[in-house]
């Protein structure tokens, strides 16, 4: 079982590139430990800025440094970065078109036991609604590495959400099919299309295996790029299937399900189900306990597919 969380993979990539690229700067809001960025601060103290518990300042300072030619990566818990700093993300980063990469750590319900104040079940909707803001949700450490390496090559704003805990690998170090802003097709199928992002990709894959045993053919898409969404991949998968299911660690409004449904409704109408967290404060517990409670696991996804296909 993998023991390296996606946040640690981000630190590794930034540390490696900062050795030769002195324009890379990492900023934290008293979160270097929880963001796994302490090794970066130790290795490159002159390229690290600690702003303290001041998320709005974190984003504005990052935007200012970007205008000065730096390449800032600003890390803070997703629950705070996507709410307290929303105006700064909208105006100082996106509207001003600054080269700031916002890293929302411990996303979704990673802080399970701490409750709604520390959950970020609205960040997809909020960040996707900002013009000029890209939104990414990598599914494992290997894809995270590829994503950060690619983001280092451009100068556009972006929001990246990663969870707190290690997740089981989807890919291997030697085999990470990755194209920027294009969904990864993990499996082809003709009965139901499972479109998932982030930590929901693994249970979607496992659900496809359960469905195969039942004689149901399922395709699986890793939609790590929420914005820009790979519309072509959605239409292609939906066109080949009888039904579509989206799975996300997010509220039921404004996230992956909403966006996919808009595309399907306009271009290839199919029976569609959106699996997500409820429109209510979720129960407290570990990520697994929360996912199991709401059926966001392989059994729940497979059951939803059976019901949808009727």
53-108 tens-digit pLDDT: 999 999 999 999 999 999 999 999 999 999 999 999 999 999 999 999 999 999 99
Please give the C-alpha separations between residue 35 and each of 209, 272, 299, in angstroms, as whole numbers.
Answer: 34, 36, 31
SS (H, E, C) the chain: CCCCCHHHHHHHHHHHHHCCCCCEEEEECCCCCCCCCHHHHHHCHHHEEECCCCHHHHHHHHHHHHHCCCEEEEEEEHHHHCCCCHHHHHHHHHHCCCCCEEEEECCECCCHHHCHHHCECCHHHHHHCCCCCEEECCCCHHHHHHHHHHHCCCCCCEEEECCCCCCCCCCCCCCCCCECCECEEEECCCCEEEEECHHHHHHHHHHHHHHHHCCCCEEEEECCEEECCCHHHHHHHHHHCCEEEEECCCCCCCCHHHHHHHHHHHHCCCEEEEECCCCCCCCCCCHHHHHHHCCCCHHHHHHHHHHHHC
Query: Which pLDDT score, from 0 to 100, does residue 35 have?
Result: 73
Of 149, 74, 137, whose CA–CA distance to 110 is shortest?
Answer: 137
Query: Which pLDDT score, from 0 to 100, does residue 94 have?
Result: 98
Of 105, 91, 163, 104, whose CA–CA distance to 133 is shortest?
Answer: 91
Task: Record the tokens describing residue 146, joined without a space.
Answer: 């590829």
Q: CA-CA distance, 73 to 110, in Å (whole number)?
A: 21
10 Å Cβ neighbour count for 279? 9
Angle at 266 between CA 262 and CA 269, to 5 degrees: 95
Query: Which pLDDT score, from 0 to 100, does residue 113 have?
Result: 86
109-136 tens-digit pLDDT: 999 889 899 999 999 999 999 999 999 9
| Tens digit of pLDDT at every position of the chain (310 positions) | 888 999 999 999 999 999 999 999 999 999 888 778 999 999 999 999 999 999 999 999 999 999 999 999 999 999 999 999 999 999 999 999 999 999 999 999 999 889 899 999 999 999 999 999 999 999 999 999 999 999 999 999 999 999 999 999 999 999 999 999 999 999 999 999 999 999 999 999 999 999 999 999 999 999 999 999 999 999 999 999 999 999 999 999 999 999 999 999 999 999 999 999 999 999 999 999 999 999 999 999 999 999 999 8
Q: CA-CA distance, 15 to 40, in Å (whole number)?
A: 6
Query: Which pLDDT score, from 0 to 100, does residue 296 have?
Result: 98
**Single pTM value for the model:** 0.97
Decide: 167 and 199 in contact? Cβ < 8 Å: yes
Query: Which pLDDT score, from 0 to 100, does residue 308 have?
Result: 96
10 Å Cβ neighbour count for 3? 8
Q: CA-CA distance, 88 to 226, in Å (whole number)?
A: 21
Query: Which pLDDT score, from 0 to 100, does residue 86 have?
Result: 98
Query: Which pLDDT score, from 0 to 100, does residue 31 have?
Result: 85
Query: Which pLDDT score, from 0 to 100, does residue 1 have?
Result: 81
């Amino acid at each position: 079982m993998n023991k390296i969380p996606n946040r640690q993979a981000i630190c590794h990539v930034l540390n490696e590139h900062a050795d030769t690229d002195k324009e890379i700067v990492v900023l934290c809001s008293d979160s270097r430990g929880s963001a796994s960025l302490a090794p970066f601060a130790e290795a490159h103290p002159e390229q690290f800025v600690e702003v303290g518990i001041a998320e709005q300042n974190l984003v504005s300072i990052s935007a200012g440094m970007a205008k000065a030619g730096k390449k800032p990566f600003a890390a803070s818990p997703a629950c705070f970065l996507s709410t307290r700093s929303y105006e700064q993300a909208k105006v100082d980063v996106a509207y001003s078109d600054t080269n700031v990469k916002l890293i929302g750590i411990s996303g979704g319900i990673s802080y399970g036991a701490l409750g709604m104040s520390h959950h970020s079940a609205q960040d997809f909707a909020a960040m996707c609604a900002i013009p000029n803001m890209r939104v990414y949700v990598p599914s494992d450490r290997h894809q995270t590495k590829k994503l950060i390496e690619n983001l280092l090559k451009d100068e556009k704003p972006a929001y990246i959400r990663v969870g707190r805990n290690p997740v089981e690998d989807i890919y291997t170090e030697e085999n990470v099919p990755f194209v920027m802003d294009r969904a990864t097709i993990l499996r082809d199928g003709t009965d139901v299309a499972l479109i998932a992002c982030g930590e929901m990709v693994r249970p979607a894959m496992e659900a496809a295996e359960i469905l195969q045993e039942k004689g149901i053919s399922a395709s699986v898409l890793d939609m790590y790029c929420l914005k820009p969404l790979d519309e072509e991949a959605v239409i292609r998968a939906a066109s080949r299937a009888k039904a579509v299911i989206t799975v996300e660690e997010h509220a039921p409004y404004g996230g992956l399900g909403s966006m996919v449904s808009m595309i399907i409704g306009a271009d290839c109408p199919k029976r569609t189900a959106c699996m997500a967290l409820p429109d209510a404060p979720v129960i407290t517990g570990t990520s697994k306990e929360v996912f199991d409670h709401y059926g966001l696991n392989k059994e729940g996804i497979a059951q939803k597919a059976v019901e949808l296909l009727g």
